[in-house]
Amino acid sequence: MRYICSLLVIIFITACGYRPATHYTRDVLGERIYVDVAISREDLENSVLIKDAVNQSVITRLGGKLVSKETADSGLLIEIGSITFSPILYNKSGYITAYKTKVSLDIKYKTKSGNSDSFSTSGEYDFQIDENEDGTTNSIISDGNRFDAIKRASMDALNEFVSQIAMRGIK
């Protein structure tokens, strides 16, 4: 019975003309993509984290291949706008127990055919700080939490970019 229901859902989705955002994004950017993340000397660690997140997103979210500049269908230049950590939750003793990370990216793309555009996107990620048994917390963000939060917020910003590019592909 589950098999039949799953088959009916798939037939319905394909019959109504549904196409994933990746399809439209590929129409705009192509399959082979060159990625260049501007490395900031002041923020070297975060630049590397964002480059890893972008590369992962190009492969998984866009379904593209990372290639050299010479063989690419399009190129992405990504610069870090800002990275902020804001406390969003306090426990009853006044200690910070959760933060919101916000990453702003400036993304420019250019295709072989000469089309280009730029976007400013932002992504967010919320995470908690572990409480001690006595109800206190170490309000300092650990490197592990910081790295993970920046990576996830960057991926959220890139998802916004993919959505904007997909809208261009629909037109």
In a domain, 32, yes or no: yes
Output DSSP code: residue 114.
S
Q: Which amino acid is at 83?
A: I
Q: Residue 163 is part of a domain; what is its CATH number?
A: 3.30.160.150
Q: Domain for residue 3, yes or no?
A: no
Model pTM score: 0.77
Tokens coding 127: 């995470």
Residue 69: closest CA among 34, 36, 32: 34
Coil, strand or helix: which one is 139? coil
Domain membership of residue 48 (yes or no) is yes
For residue 156, is it within any domain? yes
Question: Could you give the 3-state DSSP secondary structure of residue 159?
Answer: helix
The model's pLDDT over 47-70, given as tens digits with 9 standing for 90+, comes to: 777 788 878 877 787 777 888 888
26 assigned to some structural domain: yes
* Owning domain of residue 41: 21-170
**pLDDT tens, 113-158?**
788 889 899 999 999 887 777 666 676 778 888 888 988 998 899 8
The whole-angstrom separation of Cα 128 and Cα 130 is: 6
Q: Is 15 inside a domain boundary?
A: no
Largest CA distance in the chain: 62
How many domains does the structure of the chain reveal?
1
Both structure tokens of 153: 């917020």
